[in-house]
């Protein structure tokens, strides 16, 4: 099993500065047999300090992006489940099939009325 430091050392992209942005997951409490988790938009600096960002700050940041596709799918699925009407879910699925970019999918969900809180996304 990898330690946190080993994971960070393997996932760095920009070797000169060592800074990048990433989606971080934190497991929550177990409630009614299911464990919830929180996904935050974060940046990691050259000294491995993690700073939580809002989605607007995350999007505007010029740092290189590094995250696993499985985490991206969790974020999109968690936000898509918060759509209120079936018609909006169908429209989003059509959009997601034609556009696979993670940031574009998040922006489309926000346009459809999904709220992304400052503290992250609960899934």
Helix (H) or strand (E) holding 92: helix 86-98
Q: At which residue do the structure tokens 């936000």 appear? A: 79
- CA distance linking residue 16 with residue 14, whole number of Å: 6
Q: Hey, is 68 helix, strand or coil?
A: coil
* Dihedral (CA of 101, 105, 111, 112) sign: positive
pLDDT at 14: 42
Phi, psi of 87 (to 5 degrees): -60, -40
Q: Hey, is 15 helix, strand or coil?
A: coil
Instruction: Please report, for residues 56, 65, 80, 105, 110, the alpha-carbon distance to residue 73 in angstroms, rounded to integers and kept in the order given.
Output: 19, 15, 10, 10, 16
pLDDT at 105: 92
pLDDT at 7: 47
Walk along the chain (123 residues) in steps of 10 and give the mean pLDDT of each run.
49 57 73 70 84 85 84 86 90 92 90 81 68
Q: At which residue do the structure tokens 């959009």 appear? A: 95
pLDDT at 95: 94
- CA distance linking residue 106 with residue 19, whole number of Å: 23
């Amino acid at each position: 099993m990898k330690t946190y430091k080993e994971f960070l050392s393997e996932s760095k992209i920009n070797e000169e500065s060592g800074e990048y942005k990433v989606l971080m997951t934190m497991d929550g409490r177990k409630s009614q047999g299911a464990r919830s988790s929180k996904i935050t938009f974060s940046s990691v600096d050259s000294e491995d300090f993690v700073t939580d960002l809002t989605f607007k700050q995350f999007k505007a940041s010029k740092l290189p992006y590094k995250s696993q596709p499985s985490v991206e799918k969790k974020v999109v699925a968690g936000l898509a489940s918060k759509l209120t009407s079936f018609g909006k879910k169908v429209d989003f699925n059509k959009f997601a099939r034609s556009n696979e970019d993670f940031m574009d999918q998040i922006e489309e969900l926000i346009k459809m009325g999904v709220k992304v809180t400052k503290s992250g996304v609960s899934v």
